[in-house]
Amino acid sequence: MLEIFDHLFMQRAFLAGILIAVTAPIIGIFLVVRRYSLIADTLAHVSLAGVAIGLLTKTYPLIWATVVSAATAVGIETLRKSKRVYGEASVALFLQGGMAVAVTLISIARGFNADLFGFLFGAIATVSETDLYFIGILALVIVLAVFFHFKELFAVAFDEELAQVSGMRVKAFNTALVVLAAIAITVATRIVGILLIGALMVIPVLSAMQFSRSFKQTMGISIVVSLASVVVGLYASYYLDIASGGAIVLMALAIFFVSSIINKSN
């Protein structure tokens, strides 16, 4: 079981995986309770445009992915708040727009299909030392932001209007939340893949909600579920030679089904 850690790339993959497993649900829980689940998916898809810019310009793709998805996050929030279009329509607008930009850039620069596959579906062998440092810094930003602003994020998530009445800077916290989601997505890109990140942010939270007795407990259980999914998924990816993103999300789904059945039978 432990021989896979003989490989340096697996050590890096597990370290990155643990960071992802912690950061994805602590942001995901706020997205789920605010009915923002699809935003994670949209930001992930849009980050593909950032990856394409990086591959095209031969610069570090994850920086571009962070910049593009964070800018999109601000754009979605601004449009949603302006009420010029329905909330979910603004999400769809950016999802399709981002994908269009990504596909166009990819078609301009033919020849990085192999790199792209790893970004789309996750690939454990691709986590470099630079990735690990980058992921580590971003994960630290997320954990610190949630730690220091937990009570505000929670109050705004529970009821935006009531938080605003009490004088909280709701707009700033909403924007911060979607930007943190964009960062969490970049953190997870290497291991889980752009197409499946949204699932890792949402499914462990849904599993935790089957058993939780409080908000903090929901967050704790979702981190445990997420860690279990990532660790088992990475093992499966290594031994079965399958894409890590698929293996991790399938594991998360299996936990969700089991927890739903247990919850129903109780």
Partner 1 sequence: MEQFCLEARGIEHSYGKEKVLENVTFSIAAGSYVGLIGPNGGGKTTLIKILLGLTKPDAGKVYVFGESLSNYKKKYHLGYVPQQVSQLENSFPATVSEIVKTGRTARVGLYKSFTNKDKEAVNTAMEITGVSEYKDRLIGKLSGGQKQKVFIARALAGEPKVLFLDEPMVGIDIVSRESFYTFLKRLNKENGITIVFISHDLGVISEEVETILCLNKKLFCHSKSGEVSIDQLIEDSYGKKVSAVRHIH
Question: Which residue from 195, 246, 189 is spatially nearest to 51, judged by alpha carbons?
Answer: 189
Please return the burial class of 224, using the count of CB atoms within 10 Å of its CB with bins 0-12, 13-18 and 19+.
Answer: middle
164 binds partner 1 (CB under 8 A): yes
The distance of closest approach from Cβ of residue 62 to partner 1 in the complex, given in angstroms and rounded to an integer, is 30
Fill in the per-residue mask, 196 to 235: x = in contact with partner 1 (CB under 8 A), - = not in contact.
------------xx--xxxxx-x-----------------
Of 205 and 247, nearer to partner 1 (C-beta) is 205
151 binds partner 1 (CB under 8 A): yes
103 binds partner 1 (CB under 8 A): no
Rounded to whole angstroms, the Cα distance separating 240 from 133 reads 28
Structure tokens at 192: 């889980």
Rounded to whole angstroms, the Cα distance separating 202 from 30 reads 10
DSSP assignment, residue 169?
A: -
Rounded to whole angstroms, the Cα distance separating 176 from 145 reads 9
Judged by CB under 8 A, the residue of 4, 15, 18, 33 near partner 1 is 33
Of 103 and 172, nearer to partner 1 (C-beta) is 172
The distance of closest approach from Cβ of residue 70 to partner 1 in the complex, given in angstroms and rounded to an integer, is 22
Query: Which residues lie near partner 1 (CB under 8 A)?
Result: 33, 148-149, 151-152, 154-155, 158-159, 161-168, 208-209, 212-216, 218
